[in-house]
Amino acid sequence: MAEIYGYAGKILKVDLTIGEIIETPSEQYLPKYLGGRGLAARLYWDEIPPKVGAFDPENMLIISTGPLTGTGALGGGRCEAATKCPVMYPYQSYTTANAGYIGPELKYAGYDTLMVKGKAKDHVYLWICDGIVEIRGAGELWGLTTRQTREVLWNKHDRKAKVACIGPAGENLAASAIISVEVNSAFGKGGFGAVMGSKNLKAIAVRGTGRIKVANPEKLLEINDIRRRFHNIKAGETRVINGKTTVGIAKPRNSPTFMSSRLADEAKQGRVKIKLGGCPGCSLNCHNKAEFKDNSLPSGSVECADTFVWAVPEKMTDGGKLIGRLAWEASMLIDDMGIDNLQVLAVGLLSGLHKLHKNDKYTNMLYGGDWLYQGYLAGIFTEANTGLPWEKFGSQEFLRKLLNIMAYREGFGDILAQGLGLATKYIVENEEFGPNRNQMQYIYQRVCPKAGKFGNPQERHSYTAPDPIRAIYCAVGDQFGQEPEPGWCGHSEPWYAPGLDNKVIIKWLGTDKIKDPYYWGPEVAKAAIAHEDIAAVTDSLVVCSKLDYGMYPTVIGHHAPGWPDKLLVDWEELVENSPNGGPEYLSAILGVEMTHEEVWKKGEMIVNLVRAIWVRDGYTEDKYDTYWDAIFEEEDTKGNKVTPKDKFEKTIKDYYSLRGWKAGVPTRAKLEDLDLKDVADELDALGKLPS
């Protein structure tokens, strides 16, 4: 038997309905689909028919690792989950999310991928340990928070086990439910916890003591060492890295928002201990951990983005300092309940910072306004029809009430649990919400910019300022557009982002014309495609795209005006190396030399496969590859349209042409060129393949 490098070699399939556990070789899929998002997409295509609903037993929860996972590759501590998304509206299809911690453990236990289908008769959890797989009763776990569930399973099995579990929100099939892996590390933004709950599956606990072999461990260590030296270089320090002289920049080792917070003040007084942390095998350490000495609040961690999110419910006072105890309690309670923090943000924790007027620039900066609070301002939501104490908005009482009705689907929370699309539809159709209730449609479209892909305020990242690449990418893709490459152009108004040297942008995105945020043309479509293919590879390897923020800080100053407006990094290094190290890492781990072009070809294959899934499940370009009119109306601080509709529609056509698609659907020629003939055949049989 040939030596297996980079993979465990097996796929684990569990059918909870009949209690069946099957292992199959993963070699029929790997390394062709790389792993992660690519492998998950192929398994979804093969195993989940288009007519299956998100909560049907036939739907699958897929947790897929990549060739970097568990090998010691820097940033290889994450994995990808995929399922049919219950939050997508008005149709349901494939979606993904990634999280840290559990991926390496799954591979060490002997599996590249876990697939769970069916519905258990009683509440259960999975125990996976070094090739031993058991379906165990979870009666004592049902009703517990995610933190409590982890503690029980650690005490029962092994404190080194990694636990992916749901909280009350997942048990009650709330559309915003996550699968929590660690505090604030989760498979979120797609209703994954609700899918898990629909199967009566409370938790997946994994312990593995095996190891993953790599073809060239010395080369892997060398690549890691180069990246670490970029991460750890100090401001003004000169180092020779990979034969080139590089000067360090002033890059903080923590979120500036967090470190200028009220909690940071408490840390200086000795009441709170703050430290950095991150996913296994990563030197970036993007999590901010806090431990309260008096145990008045639970310890945990937040990523830098979350710190800003939970700063907002507290009043903008105290010298502008944010993130105090209420914000921390919000973040911890949201994770304990198993709710997606950004869905909660959309529902109503952005306090009174927003106005409904379309030209409110502060609204644009903060993702377009929050759904629930805007409904309150419009007179649609009252204490009588929501049960929420609006006179105490932003208080601990309001926070706890909102999260509880969402997680347990009580009263108005049962409406929220459907997801914002269906909740908006319900409100508009029911007289109890008053004569102004039709305004909720506009509010919804400001918060959730397009149909199809599940609404999420994180998508607003694309519309705060002119950024044509992101506008195209987020219209057609299955990601949110916050990956590094568009930020290279420095478009992030009103944030402070200088952008990269032109030769870096030309190398990876094809042209430097896109540095002009008001330029629209075929080059924009070409750059969006390059970015989309890179992201597909990144999520299939699986490697964290934030490593490129750390290695080459492309958006330095993103949260802190006053940071340097010039990046003192040797751009030749970024020009010569893949943005996320694909060819280099694959060569070291798999022992297979691959060029950038070959890696990108795999990314193109994965993007086309995902699009084929969407088309099979009901996606059409006339409905879904566009935005609501409310988005096209938005203006930047200079009075220009953020996304001009006429230019956008012309560039979408350029995108289709360059992709080899017709009306948003891959052609047979394109699919066969990417070795997806069977996919083309099935679409053809369904009458969904372009003539």
- Find all residues with CB under 8 Å of 177, minimum gap 6, and list them: 166, 167, 169, 170, 191, 192, 193, 194, 196, 197, 338, 339, 340
Tokens matching residue 420: 């914002």
Nearest alpha carbon to residue 68 among 97, 43, 45, 38: 38
Residue type present at position 521: G
CB 333 within 8 A of CB 403: yes
pTM of the model as a whole: 0.90
Nearest alpha carbon to residue 343 among 203, 447, 471: 447
pLDDT at residue 550, rounded to an integer = 42
pLDDT at residue 309, rounded to an integer = 43
pLDDT at residue 513, rounded to an integer = 87
Task: Decide whether 10-207 matches 256-447 in CATH topology.
Answer: no
pLDDT at residue 462, rounded to an integer = 45
Phi (first) and psi of residue 36, to 5 degrees = 50, -125
Q: How would you classify the pairing of strands 179-182 and 238-241? A: unpaired
pLDDT at residue 70, rounded to an integer = 93
Where the chain has pLDDT below 70, the residues are 1-2, 229-237, 239-261, 283-284, 303-324, 345-369, 394, 453-464, 478-501, 546-580, 621-622
Half-sphere exposure for 205 (CA within 13 Å, toward CB)? 24
pLDDT at residue 155, rounded to an integer = 97
CATH number for the domain running over 256-447: 1.10.569.10
pLDDT at residue 182, rounded to an integer = 83
CB 167 within 8 A of CB 336: yes
What is the spatial distance between Cα 464 and Cα 251, in angstroms, rounded to a whole number? Answer: 24
- Find all residues with CB under 8 Å of 180, minimum gap 6, and list them: 146, 164, 165, 166, 167, 186, 193, 335, 338
pLDDT at residue 480, rounded to an integer = 58
Tokens matching residue 308: 């800003």
**Element (H or E) spanning 331, and its range?**
helix 325-337
pLDDT at residue 313, rounded to an integer = 42
Query: Per residue in 1-50, pLDDT tens?
Result: 468 899 999 999 999 999 999 999 999 999 999 999 999 999 999 999 99
Nearest alpha carbon to residue 522 among 329, 616, 384, 656: 656
Nearest alpha carbon to residue 550 among 203, 339, 304: 304
Is the CATH code 1.10.599.10 the one for domain 464-563+580-685? yes
Tokens matching residue 100: 């840290």
What is the spatial distance between Cα 439 and Cα 435, in angstroms, rounded to a whole number? Answer: 9
Residue type present at position 317: T
What is the spatial distance between Cα 53 and Cα 93, in angstroms, rounded to a whole number? Answer: 9
pLDDT at residue 464, rounded to an integer = 60
What is the spatial distance between Cα 651 and Cα 428, in angstroms, rounded to a whole number? Answer: 34
CB 179 within 8 A of CB 193: yes
Q: Give domain limits for the chain.
A: 10-207, 256-447, 464-563+580-685
pLDDT at residue 487, rounded to an integer = 61
DSSP alpha helices (H): ranges in 542-637? 546-551, 571-576, 582-590, 596-617, 621-624, 629-632
- Find all residues with CB under 8 Å of 338, minimum gap 6, and list them: 145, 146, 165, 166, 167, 168, 169, 170, 177, 178, 179, 180, 193, 407
pLDDT at residue 206, rounded to an integer = 98
What is the spatial distance between Cα 443 and Cα 436, in angstroms, rounded to a whole number? Answer: 12
Give Rg (Cα) of the chain. Answer: 24
Superfamily grouping for domain 10-207:
Aldehyde ferredoxin oxidoreductase, N-terminal domain (3.60.9.10)
Burial (CB < 10 A; 0-12, 13-18, 19+), residue 257, is buried
